Structures are given as structure tokens and as C-alpha cells.
Amino acid sequence: MVRAVLHPADATWRDVSWSIVDGAGIPSNLATVEADGLTARITALGDGEFLLRCVSRNGGTKIRLLSQLEWTVTGLGTAYKDPYGFVSAGLYTRSWGEVSNGNERGVATARGAETRVCVEGIDFGPFGSDTITMPIFALTSDPYAMQIWEGMPGDEGARMLADVVYRKTSRWNVYQEETYRLSHRLRGITSLCFVLHDKVHIKGFTFASPDRAFSDNQAAEADHLYGDTFTVVDGRVEEIGNNVSLEFGGMAFGPEGTTRVLIRGHSPIDKNTLHLRFAGPEGEETRSVEFTRSDSCEERVFPIERVTGDRTVTFVFLPGSRFDFDSFRFLR
């Protein structure tokens, strides 16, 4: 708990604002602040150093007085960056070539030379995303070639995700957003690198939030896969037998929910019963569908009783099952 003290004690303007930033003034994810007037509760989220700022505008629109306290956190582990919120380019941790400070705490690349800017420690979650939006300020209206990489080019395992062009009518000192679709969906904890050959200002980036429930989910992308008998082949889970479970978290069905599920699979026997277990804050519900014999892998749509809210979905196969599971998605 932290308390701000105003001077003089009977100051007319008593409103203050609190924030958590790093040494460059960029919002930090190492802690949160809950403000209640002149008091604030600070909650640490990850190891590192940050500044707690308290500012007064003295009744105006601009900051007139700023006070800050330095904090160091140890023992909690890494606080990863959230790509579904805004990630400032000023949080880059590796670079190659000449990188300078950009407008609004972004970065500026070099003029007429190659620059690489890499942001590490980004947590995309188990499902991930492949759509990035970047606010960019270019000095001219000319086209600017840009590559987007997972990892730094030259590092083991690095791969190029997009080879794109930024082209908008330049507006001086104004960032304009552009959205790009990447070749692969980024998942888990990884890094992102931007490669340019001329000068632009990059404010940062954000990714489209995953809509896992209503997107295609490969069976082998399950967060947890366990049981007596199964084989994983090219994104499919084949030869599913006794007591196999495939668990998928982060399923947000919303208030409208879903009443249908599309399942792509192959049943070499007369009937496979798939039990769908929906676990959420208010408990657990189960639905069942029957996938009858098929000569090959087929898509079939099954009606189910409505499911709403945030859920973890588990497909359960009981003894007697024999099924090749390719993918599924819920339908709105």
C-alpha cells in the first residue's frame, strides 16, 4: 500500500493519477496498481524493476508535478508480454543495426540500411494468433518493404512469417495502422522480429484475440492429451481407443453460446460415442454425440444443448472407442 501526500495540506486540486512504467516511461507489465484517491495498492506480477508514478495536473490538462518510487521484484518469475493488449516497440530486447527512439516511445529504424528489432518474451497462449496490427509512421508515401520473423533472423529455429509492404499516404508525425496476416499462427512463449531497410517509426503491435471456440482446432493441438491408446499423425489423433481425453482450454462461447459442433473424423466401426465435457466457473456439464461409420475422414455437424460462457472443453472416449480425430469447431 502506498499513500501520496499533498503539499500544502489544504491544496485546492487534490486529484492524482497513478501508473506503473519502466525506466523509459513505457507502461510495464511487472505490476498492477489499484488507485483509490491518494492511496494505491501495488501488486507485483513478475521479476524486474519498475517505477510507480503519481502525477498531479493541478486542475489543468497537462502534468504539473510528477513523483515516482523505484521498485524491484524477485522470486516471482518472468512476467511475459500480452500480445492481445498493446505491446510497445520500445520494449524491444534485441536489435541489429541502428535503432533509435521513435515517437510516442516507439522505435525508429535506420535510413537506407537494414535494421532488425526483436521483442522477446511474448506469450500467445496455447491457441495463438496469426493477425498483427501495427501503428507505423513513415516519413514519405513511398512503399516500405518489411519482413516479420518469429525469432531473430540467423538464430536457430527462426522463421519468416510475412514479407509485406507498408504503403500509406504519409501524415506528418501521425501513426497509421496496418494489419497483416502471418503465414503461421504464433503459439506459446516466443519472440517477434521486424526487419526493415529504410527509416520508419514503429509504435508497437497488437494481435487479434484468439476465438478458439469458433475456429478450426486440430485434434493434436489439445492442451492435454492422455489415455491408453492413440497415435498422433500430422495434426490428427488417430487410432483412439480406451479412456482417451483431449482437453482444450480458453473456449469463450459468450452469452449467446453454441448449439452445434462440427467434427471432422473417421469412424471404422458402426458407432463412436464422443462425450464432450464443458467445465467452467459454475461447474461442469456433459454433452454426447454419435459419430457413425464412415469410409474416410468426413465433416459432420451435430446439434448439442446450448453451452455459454468461458469453458474448458474435453473430448472423452470411453472403452470400445475406435476413432481417427482430425479437427473440430463450434458453430454460432
Q: How far apart are CA 329 and CA 315, in angstroms?
A: 12
pLDDT tens readout for residues 218-268: 999 999 999 989 999 999 999 999 899 999 999 999 999 999 999 999 999
pLDDT tens readout for residues 263-306: 999 999 999 999 999 999 989 999 999 999 999 999 999 999 99
pLDDT score for 173:
93
Sequence ranges of the domains in the chain: 2-73, 87-210, 213-331
Q: Which fold has domain 87-210?
A: Jelly Rolls (2.60.120)
Summarize the confidence of residues 129-137 as an average pLDDT.
Answer: 97
pLDDT score for 242:
87
pLDDT score for 126:
85
Q: Is there a shared CATH topology between the 2-73 domain and the 213-331 domain?
A: no
Q: Is 296 exposed, middle or buried (0-12, 13-18, 19+ CB in 10 A)?
A: exposed
pLDDT tens readout for residues 37-91: 999 999 999 999 999 999 999 999 999 999 999 999 999 999 999 999 999 999 9
**How far out from the chain centre does Cα 7 lie?**
43
Check if the beta carbon of residue 222 is closer than 8 Å to that of residue 195.
no
Q: How far apart are CA 223 and CA 239, in angstroms?
A: 19
pLDDT tens readout for residues 166-211: 999 999 999 999 999 999 999 999 999 999 999 999 999 999 998 9
CATH 2.40.128 is the classification of domain 2-73:
no
State how far the alpha carbon of 1 is from the alpha carbons of 16, 28, 41, 50, 179, in Å.
Answer: 16, 18, 5, 16, 41
Q: How far apart are CA 230 and CA 151, in angstroms?
A: 33
Q: Provide CB contacts within 8 A for 59, sequence distance 6+.
A: 12, 13
- What class has domain 213-331? mainly beta
pLDDT score for 210:
87
